[in-house]
Each structure stands twice: as C-alpha cells, then as structure tokens.
C-alpha cells in the first residue's frame, strides 16, 4: 500500500480562500448530493462522463495518474480499479479526509492549484485528470493550470478534464438564459469549447472537446510540441 503524502504548507490563494470552508462543509454530503441530482444541472450525465474519462485516457495497469481537485475520489477510484498508481491534489482538508478513507492507497497532497505546486507532487505522470473543478477559475487561470500541468506529464502524456461545459459561448449563454437561469452560479466560469480551444492555441496547447450531456463535456489537452 502506498503511503499518503500531506503538504499543508501551501495556503489557499486569495481567489479561492473564501471557497475552502464551503468545500470542507460540502465534503460531508458531496457524494450524496451527486447521487440525488438525477440528471439535473450541473451534474447531468455525471457517472457516464466520469466513465468516459477513463476510456479516453486509455489507461493500463501501472500508469501514474495525477488527479487535480480530487475531491472525495470519485474519478480517482476508477483509475485505482484499473491498477493505476494515483496521486491526488485538493485544497480542502475535509475532501482529502474522505478520499483517504475511501482510497488509502492514493497519495494525497493538500495544495492550491493557483499557486506554486508543492515538491510533494512527483512527476512525470502518464495522465493528468480533473473533474468538475476548473470551472471555479477564470479562463486565464484555467490556461495557467493547464500549461503548468503539461510540465508534469510524461513525454506521451495527456490531460483530460471533465467539467460543466458547452460547445460554444453562444450555446452557453442560451443555456444560462433558457435552461438554467435559477441554478446558474454567476461566481463560476463554465467552459465553452470554442473560446477554450482558441485560448489554448495561443498558449501553445492543443485541445479537443467532446460534448457528453446538455451541460457537461470532456477536454483533452497536450502541449503542441508533444503531438
């Protein structure tokens, strides 16, 4: 069994410090809240999307996986079941505590993705994954995280992100106004594939996108020079 790693020396950034308590509290009923969504926004298609991440990752036993924003370990558990060596990062101590109980073999690091990643994260990783996390960040911050993540990948590695996402800015705006107005969180930054792919190209990243549900999709990212 792999030992767990905790690094509590990285304080949350100003942008997410006000969310730490929210997520620590949410950890107590996070899994139950997912199970009760029944196709509602923002988790429409959640289980199918999580399964598809593993399929698209093309994992093999022994692969090293880094899960950014591991939460309670729902995505990480799928990779553990495939025989992978899994690492997980989260800023919420309570989320990490839930994962530790569920998946004691996963190496865990407490850190804020928006600041310097601690030395406890030991690359290279064959795949870096993230699920329903990065919509908390602006597009600029998302790109910064993605670019940093590529430096932690093995030469043939890729990053897969499942999240609240739409194929275009226009579709996202229509969804906000016509479908999800009362549920839409103005403090979050839901993805649109068109603006994301454009921003990635300018940042030296290659991105592809697959829409999986009315409000969820999967991106695959890699550095252009590694295609």
| pLDDT, tens only, 104-119 | 999 999 999 998 888 8
Binned at pLDDT 50, 70 and 90, residue 10 comes out as: very low
Residue 12 forms part of a structural domain: no
pLDDT band per the 50, 70, 90 thresholds, residue 181: confident
- Residues 42, 166, 66, 60, CA torsion sign: positive
Q: Is residue 124 part of a domain?
A: yes
Report the relative pairing of strands 64-68 and 191-192 from DSSP bridges: unpaired
For residues 216-220, average pLDDT: 98
Average pLDDT over residues 31-39: 62
Q: How many domains does the chain have?
A: 1
CATH number at residue 29: 3.40.50.150
Query: Which range (5-9, 146-150, 151-155) has the least confidence?
Result: 5-9
Domain assignment of residue 147, given as a range: 17-226
Is pLDDT of 69 > 70?
A: yes
* Residue 40: Cβ within 10 Å count: 12
pLDDT at 20: 64
Residue 99 resides in a domain: yes
Q: Does residue 143 lie within any of the structural domains? A: yes
Q: Judging by beta carbons within 10 Å of its beta carbon (0-12, 13-18, 19+), is residue 127 exposed, middle or buried? A: buried
Task: Please report whether residue 8 resides in a domain.
Answer: no
In a domain, 193, yes or no: yes
Q: CA 34 to CA 41: how far, in whole Å?
A: 11
Q: With 90 as the cut, is the pLDDT of residue 144 above it?
A: yes
Report if residue 11 sits inside a domain.
Answer: no
Is the separation of the CB atoms in 213 and 180 below 8 Å? no
Mean pLDDT, residues 166-184: 93
Whole-number pLDDT of residue 38:
58
Return the number of other C-beta atoms located less than 10 Å from residue 35's C-beta: 11
Q: Count CB-CB contacts under 10 A for residue 167.
A: 15
* Averaged confidence pLDDT in the chain: 87
Q: Which of the two residues, 30 and 166, has the higher pLDDT score?
A: 166
Q: Tell me the whole-structure pTM to 2 decimals.
A: 0.87
Inside any domain, residue 65: yes
Alpha-carbon gap, residue 33 to 100, rounded angstroms: 20
Segment among 20-29, 103-112, 141-150 with least mean pLDDT:
20-29
């Amino acid at each position: 069994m792999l030992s767990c790693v905790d690094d509590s020396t990285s304080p949350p950034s100003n942008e997410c410090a006000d969310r730490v308590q929210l997520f620590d509290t949410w950890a107590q009923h996070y899994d139950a809240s997912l199970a009760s969504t029944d196709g509602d926004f923002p988790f429409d298609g959640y289980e199918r999307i999580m399964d598809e991440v593993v399929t698209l990752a093309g994992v093999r036993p022994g692969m090293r996986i880094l899960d950014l924003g591991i939460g309670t370990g729902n995505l990480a558990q799928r990779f553990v079941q495939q025989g992978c060596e899994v690492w997980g990062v989260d800023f919420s101590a309570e989320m990490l505590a839930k994962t530790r109980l569920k998946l004691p073999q996963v190496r865990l690091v407490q850190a804020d993705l928006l600041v310097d990643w601690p030395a406890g994260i030991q690359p290279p990783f064959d795949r870096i994954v993230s699920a329903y996390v990065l919509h908390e960040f602006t597009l600029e911050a998302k790109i910064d995280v993605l670019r940093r993540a590529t430096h932690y990948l093995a030469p043939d590695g890729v990053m897969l992100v499942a999240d609240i996402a739409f194929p275009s800015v226009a579709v996202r705006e229509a969804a906000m106004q016509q479908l999800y107005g009362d549920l839409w969180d103005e403090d979050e930054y839901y993805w649109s594939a068109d603006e994301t792919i454009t921003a990635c190209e300018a940042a030296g990243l290659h991105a592809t996108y697959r829409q999986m549900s009315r409000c969820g999709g999967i991106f695959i990212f890699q550095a252009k020079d590694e295609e």
